[in-house]
Amino acid sequence: MSVKQSIEQTLRTELSPVHLEVLDETHMHNVPKDAQSHFKVTVVSRDFAGKAPVQRHRLVNQLLKPQFESGLHALALHTLTPEEWFSKGGRVADTPECLGGGAE
């Protein structure tokens, strides 16, 4: 199972999302080609109601702890309630360019 599939399976099981999108953005970073280490995750769940953004991010990070322990390095997280998702027209911001070190 790929890292992307593992992330999707975990979040679907634990958060029953209304919407889930997991994009592998590893290619945008200075890492080996097949690293599967950087992902943009948009998850829309009723479980986020009443939680501050930092609490939502901590929850997702905790759920994905096994993936972090096996090579996942970074997530660009967009954690929304259904109401927030629909008020934004079902869109989230693009991930900014990587500011990390470049290949030499």
pLDDT of the residue at 17: 98
Q: What is the CATH number of domain 3-87?
A: 3.30.300.90
Cα gap 15→47, rounded to integer Å? 6
Residue 4: is it exposed, middle or buried by C-beta count within 10 angstroms (0-12/13-18/19+)? middle
* Residue 102 CB contacts under 8 Å (≥ 6 apart), including other chains: 30
Domain ranges of the chain: 3-87
Q: Is the pLDDT of residue 101 over 60?
A: no
**Per-residue pLDDT tens digits for 39-73:** 889 999 999 999 999 999 999 999 999 988 987 87
Residue 93: phi and psi, rounded to 5, are -65, 150
Helix or strand holding residue 60 (H, E) = helix 53-63
Give pTM, 2 decimals: 0.81
pLDDT of residue 104: 38
For strands 38-44 and 19-24, give the pairing: antiparallel
- Written as one letter, the residue type at 48 is F
